[in-house]
Structure 1
Amino acid sequence: MSLASKLVLIILSVFIVFVAYSIHSILQPPKLDKPLPETWWTDKDPKDVDESIQQFSINIDETVLEDLYHRLDLFQEHTLPLQDANFTYGFNTDYLYNVIDFWRNQYDWRQREKFLNQYPHFITNVQGLDIHFMHIKPKITKNVKVLPLLLLHGWPGSIREFYRAIPLLITPRDGYVFEVIVPSLPGYGFSEGATKKGLGSSQVAVVMKNLMLKLGFKKFVVQGGDWGGVIAQNIATLFPENLIGMHSNMCSINTPATFLLTLIGSVFPRLVVEKEYEHLIYPYSSTFKHLLEESGYMHLQATKPDTIGIALRESPVGLAAYIMEKFSTWTDKSWKHLPDGGLTRKFTLTELLDNVMIYWVTGSITTSVRLYAETFSIAHLSLNIENIPTNVPSACVKFPNELLYQPNYLLSFKFYNLIQTTHFPRGGHFAAFEEPDLLVDDVFLFVKKLNV
């Protein structure tokens, strides 16, 4: 063999070893180097904090409502939508006038307070934060297994999303019933926001786990979507010993391996997804285009949360348009072609405004969107917690109009004990709000399989 041939062989061998090592590295799951610290998230002196659990009632000062009505009365004529634009350019300003008129003349916040207060509300301090939560116990517990269930909302949602599901969850079925805990995430609604940087989704998982421990639940079931789904996954990763099971309507993972496999699936889809669900992810160009259309808000909130927070805090109409638009296109992307965005096909204006009002009367929009900046920070991303595998028994519900679909093969890189996946024929991003019957049916089916 000539010298040149030997050099070529050596170079080729080194290249093959390099490629093999790179592929091996990509396929290796990340690991948690050390536990997350239990950070104190405010400037309060721990010695001055009341650690007790206090009853709470939603009762907004009249001056807040008077200010809201004044701002609504000052609403000026907005730029007309383009012809046939409907919701494709964002919230249609023609329909916005209907929303404002209903809000000002028919929507009654004092009546809505009574509705929201129908369940017991509480506040307690966890890691320096005053955390608000509902705690609903079932009335019938005889001859049934009572399981504590932590329900977690996301953005731009709130505790309001679960009011249709709660009565179903506290009604016994197949020998099980749930004791339901529904917190407002830190910085959302009636829960206090941090005064220090760094409270990302993984750190919120620590807060939520500590809330449940404080309530006396050493082991519990968790369910969530949107940020609630991410936080539920993080609890499963960080505190598997505290979970009976994890149920999510937005299971997700985005490792180098799953990204590479998703791209490979563009050419060989059957390697990644079953044929009957192939249309939910491929052609990937369409999926990627849709994600680009719907994720502009995310880039803004992940980089300049306080700027958008200032704008939305100054205008209730702007806040309503910004939030309610998501309940159109995230529920069904085809609704963007409708002049009313399809908003009242699954929701009422009263229900949608309840959610908007929780943000407005608490002034929490800025602290809520900071969760994006903290989670997408370099410090948080370097933890890679979302992609660390978990052995906690898990269930992933897949609604056809969810923003992103991930097949079971990819989810198996995260969920090593995925005991249940369900594909439903209808439903979108706000599962508990849109399809409470379907979601609750799936939760009961899941716990029945756990045999607890």
Structure 2
Amino acid sequence: MQRLQVLKDALFGLDLIQRQALVGSAVAAGGLLAYIVHKRRQVKTIPLGEGWWGAGEKPLTEDDKIYPFKVETSEEEIKDLHERIDRTRYSDPLEDSCFHYGFNSTHLKKVVSYWRREFDWNKQVAVLNKYPHFKTKIEGVDVHFIHVRPPHRENQTVLPLMLVHGWPGSFYEFYRILPLLTERRDGVVFEVICPSIPGYGFSEAPHKQGFNSLAAARVFLTLMERLGFPQFYLQGGDWGSLITTNMAQMKPECVKGLHLNMMMSNRGFKVLLSLMIGPYLPFLVGLSREDVRRLFPFFEKSVYEMLRESGYFHIQATKPDTAGCGANDSPVGLAAYILEKFSTWTDMRNRDLQDGGLERKFSLDDLLTNVMIYWTTGSIVSSMRFYKENFKSNMNKRVDATTGIFVPTGLAAFPAELMHCPKSWAEIRYRNIYSYTFMPRGGHFAAFEEPRLLADDIVQFVRKVEEF
């Protein structure tokens, strides 16, 4: 009997040790998990860096004043444009090719005829000057921007917001959305700053190699500081998406919220697993029904479509000066090159149409005004160089690609965007998503195509951030 009790005591002691070991393991695992979560949530930043993009040597001091700017034109400028248009040599399109080979030259003649005989550049210059324009020198180049303040009303919260464009767009993309952001009467209104990326439109082109999205982000942070905004919101699509993301990575303490209408995820195991399992068991990889509808079963087709549509990308990321030479010399060549993107990137199905569906979402006056910004400033080559500068090295290994974004983020997923990015993919990079919206319609040029939809989504996102 005594031996039995000794055996029981020994077993109890062993059981107690095992339980203690189990508890210890659980505590250790919990501690490790807590550490991982803490490290994941810990805000990381990327270095600001420095740069000088002006001609020649950097001076000891730089003029940091802000000067009013006005868009102007002349009879000589318009006369030269018309003479060049009149000398255009067209090629004949293939039968029934629509927009599958690029801008159909039959329809191009109609657009150019309107441009030559009906488009009024003087009138559009007045439209451009509807909002106040300014320039200021940052890191050696003149940076152009418009600054739109809301009308004063009692009991209204005014929040600073920077909108950043991409290629082949310009600050003019935002003219339809500006009144929807600055003239609201529902308690939240914005003071909007729209800069032109250096090398685009009225912003001076960098004179030295290396001006990429990180440099643009630093320049725009300096601009906001110079305007007296310690904190602000950001919104962007296309290159504007990357530039504003970089701004949030450099100075997260200044960025109250980041809203994007184009987002890209890092490639990795999670994305690969989603593509393999998503069509069959989407809930296991964090995909919604709408994600599945947008990604499958046409993902393979989407990859092929991206290859078909990315020829410009490879050219501009390798030899922009060669490719841009003709577009900088021929206004019709420039129009064909730019407007073909406004056709296809708005909706891929537009390639099946003889007129490219250009006037389904845009007016010819608006489209040609954007073209004229590139033409009159001679900025097509410098705008194309932005691709070369950003892809000189592997972007997936760049510091911004390996650093998370921790500021409150709002994402608007437009159905006709070039590539759909599910929320579960976006979360790999954007660690603090406040809102993710499946937009009912619209493509790549969201502010230009669907200003009301985009404005409403920006406002609902900002309200969430302000409430928190």
TM-score (norm 1): 0.90
Task: State the one-letter code of the partner of 1:210.
Answer: T
Residue by residue over 1:14-73, the C-alpha shift from the partner in whole angstroms, topping out at 9 and shown as x without a partner, is xxxxxxxxxx9xxx99x9796131211112543474321000000034332221111001
Structure-1 separation of matches of 2:242 and 2:100: 28
Structure-1 separation of matches of 2:249 and 2:362: 34
- Say whether the 8 Å CA contact 2:143–2:197 is kept in structure 1: yes
Residue by residue over 1:254-277, the C-alpha shift from the partner in whole angstroms, topping out at 9 and shown as x without a partner, is 233454335434665612521232
Structure-2 separation of matches of 1:147 and 1:33: 24
For the pair 1:116 / 2:109, whether they are aligned, the reply is no
- Matched residue, 1:52: 65
The residue correspondences of 1:25-424 to structure 2 (distance < 5 A) are: 35-43=47-55, 45-47=58-60, 49-76=62-89, 78-265=90-277, 268=280, 270=282, 271-283=285-297, 284-378=299-393, 382-424=397-439
Structure-2 separation of matches of 1:33 and 1:446: 23
Give the unaligned 5+ runs of structure 2. Answer: 1-35
- Say whether the 8 Å CA contact 1:233–1:386 is kept in structure 2: no
Cα 1:118–1:267, aligned 2, differ >3 Å: closer, same or farther?
closer
Residue by residue over 1:145-173, the C-alpha shift from the partner in whole angstroms, topping out at 9 and shown as x without a partner, is 11000000000000110000001100134
Cα 1:258–1:368, aligned 2, differ >3 Å: closer, same or farther?
farther
For the pair 1:425 / 2:437, whether they are aligned, the reply is no
What secondary structure sits across from 1:425 in the alignment? coil
What secondary structure sits across from 2:412 in the alignment? strand
Residue by residue over 1:312-362, the C-alpha shift from the partner in whole angstroms, topping out at 9 and shown as x without a partner, is 101110100000000111001111100000000110111000000000000
Cα 1:99–1:34, aligned 2, differ >3 Å: closer, same or farther?
closer
Structure-2 separation of matches of 1:145 and 1:246: 18
Structure-1 separation of matches of 2:267 and 2:418: 18
- Say whether the 8 Å CA contact 2:46–2:249 is kept in structure 1: no
- Say whether the 8 Å CA contact 2:266–2:396 is kept in structure 1: no
- Say whether the 8 Å CA contact 2:266–2:428 is kept in structure 1: no
Give the unaligned 5+ runs of structure 1. Answer: 1-23
- Say whether the 8 Å CA contact 1:140–1:171 is kept in structure 2: no
Cα 1:311–1:321, aligned 2, differ >3 Å: closer, same or farther?
same
Structure-2 separation of matches of 1:262 and 1:114: 50
Identity of aligned residues (%): 46
Structure-2 separation of matches of 1:47 and 1:67: 40
- Say whether the 8 Å CA contact 1:188–1:365 is kept in structure 2: yes
Structure-2 separation of matches of 1:262 and 1:192: 43
Cα 1:33–1:109, aligned 2, differ >3 Å: closer, same or farther?
closer
Cα 1:298–1:60, aligned 2, differ >3 Å: closer, same or farther?
same
What secondary structure sits across from 1:133 in the alignment? strand
What secondary structure sits across from 1:386 in the alignment? coil
Structure-1 separation of matches of 2:445 and 2:435: 20
What secondary structure sits across from 1:240 in the alignment? coil
Task: State the one-letter code of the partner of 2:355.
Answer: D
- Matched residue, 1:445: 460
Structure-2 separation of matches of 1:365 and 1:262: 38
Larger radius of gyration: 2
Structure-1 separation of matches of 2:84 and 2:140: 34
TM-score (norm 2): 0.87
What secondary structure sits across from 1:303 in the alignment? coil
RMSD of equivalent CA atoms: 2.1
- Say whether the 8 Å CA contact 1:230–1:386 is kept in structure 2: no
What secondary structure sits across from 1:420 in the alignment? strand
Structure-2 separation of matches of 1:253 and 1:62: 48
Structure-1 separation of matches of 2:178 and 2:324: 31
Q: Could you tell me how far 1:89 is from its partner in structure 2?
A: 0.8
Q: Which moved more, 1:394-403 or 1:52-61?
A: 52-61
Q: Could you tell me how far 1:295 is from its partner in structure 2?
A: 0.8
Structure-2 separation of matches of 1:274 and 1:112: 44
Q: Which moved more, 1:251-260 or 1:197-206?
A: 251-260
What secondary structure sits across from 1:395 in the alignment? strand
Q: Could you tell me how far 1:294 is from its partner in structure 2?
A: 1.1
Cα 1:359–1:105, aligned 2, differ >3 Å: closer, same or farther?
same
- Say whether the 8 Å CA contact 1:374–1:380 is kept in structure 2: no
Task: State the one-letter code of the partner of 1:191.
Answer: S
Structure-2 separation of matches of 1:132 and 1:141: 28
- Say whether the 8 Å CA contact 1:158–1:184 is kept in structure 2: yes
- Say whether the 8 Å CA contact 2:45–2:403 is kept in structure 1: no
What secondary structure sits across from 2:203 in the alignment? coil
What secondary structure sits across from 2:253 in the alignment? helix
Q: Could you tell me how far 1:174 is from its partner in structure 2?
A: 3.2
- Say whether the 8 Å CA contact 2:237–2:262 is kept in structure 1: yes
Task: State the one-letter code of the partner of 2:407.
Answer: V
